[in-house]
Homo-oligomer: A and B are copies of this chain.
Amino acid sequence: MKAFVTGAAGFIGSNLVDRLLALGHEVTGYDNFSTGVESNLAPASAHPKFRLVRGDVLDLPALERAMQSHDTVFHLAANADVRFGTEHPRRDLEQNTIATFNVLEAMRLTGAKRIAFSSTGSIYGEPEVFPTPEHAPFPVQTSLYGASKLAGEGLIQAYAEGFGIRGFVFRFVSILGERYSHGHVVDFYRQLCEHPGKLHILGDGHQKKSYLYVQDCVAAMLLALEQAPDRLVNIFNLGTDEYCEVRDSAAWICARMGVNPEISFGGGTRGWIGDSPFIFLDTARIRALGWKPALTIRQSVETTIDYLLPR
Contact = CB atoms under 8 A, between A and B. Distances in A.
B136 A137 contact: yes
Interface residues of A, number: 41
A108 interface: yes
Interface stretch (A31-39, A85-93, A261-269): A85-93
A9 interface: no
Interface in A104-151: 104-105, 108, 125, 134-144, 146-148, 150-151
B157 A125 contact: yes
Contacts of A89: 101, 104-105, 108, 159, 162
A154 interface: yes
Contacts of A153: 141
Copy number in this complex? 2
A147 B140 CA distance: 15
Contact of A143 (B90, B136, B158, B273): B158
Contact of A137 (B90, B135, B141, B148): B135
A155 B90 CA distance: 11
A79 B166 CA distance: 26
A108 B93 CA distance: 16
A233 interface: yes
B158 A141 contact: yes
A168 B163 CA distance: 32
The 9 closest A-B pairs by CB, nearest first: A151-B151, A147-B154, A141-B157, A147-B158, A135-B137, A86-B162, A141-B154, A150-B154, A144-B158
Interface of A: 85-86, 89-90, 93, 97-98, 101, 104-105, 108, 125, 134-144, 146-148, 150-151, 153-155, 157-159, 161-163, 233, 235, 273-274
